[in-house]
Structure 1
Amino acid sequence: MIISLDTSLPDTEPILVEPDNFRALKAVVMGDSASTFATSDRAGELGRWEGDHLWVSPEKILRWASVVREPDEAWRGDFKQMLSYAYKSGWVDEGGNIRVHVEYV
């Protein structure tokens, strides 16, 4: 899964690319440098930033997924397994947010 955001398009929601890939999760930010975007108000709307990582809620990922596909029962089951793996790996914080690596292009 790729959380894709083009910062040159104001007031747009991120797009979830490869929503059925439960073996990888990253965010790709296009248009701004890391230092410019990470300190913007818009960055805070996505989640909590920590260096090259974003802590994002599963609910937001579900919302973004619903734009590109219907998160049916099978999809939700796979998503739950992905969350379980992330939890076991230490990539989920005390609030249930998932740690996502961020790339800037």
Structure 2
Amino acid sequence: MSIAPDTRIAIRPQTPVLAPADLEKWLTDRVAFHLHRPAREIDPTTPLADYGIDSVAAIGICGEIEERHLLAVPPTLAYDFPTVRAIAGHLAELLAVGDTGAAS
């Protein structure tokens, strides 16, 4: 059996739903990268504004969230949820809803 040359197969990568603590660690690493700091210096309960996060970094983090977790988030995410812990909790809720197919 051969596949016609114009046939395209779309493969959507599977992203495991992470626990809030795993999301928090991943997000801490990404925030540290954008702030040019070691991850151990990022306290998940400290507002990102206290670290001097700018809009370019905030949007970059949003893009990484969208790419890694296949989840559309607003560019204001870091302002709406001002700490790593708050963002991770919000993402965990969104991912759990997507995983169960439930609507809020």
Please indicate the TM-score interval, normalised by the length of the shorter structure. Answer: under 0.3
TM-score of the superposed pair, with normalisation by structure 1: 0.27
> What TM-score results when the alignment is normalised by the length of structure 2?
0.27
**Higher helix proportion:** 2
* Higher Cα Rg, which structure: 2
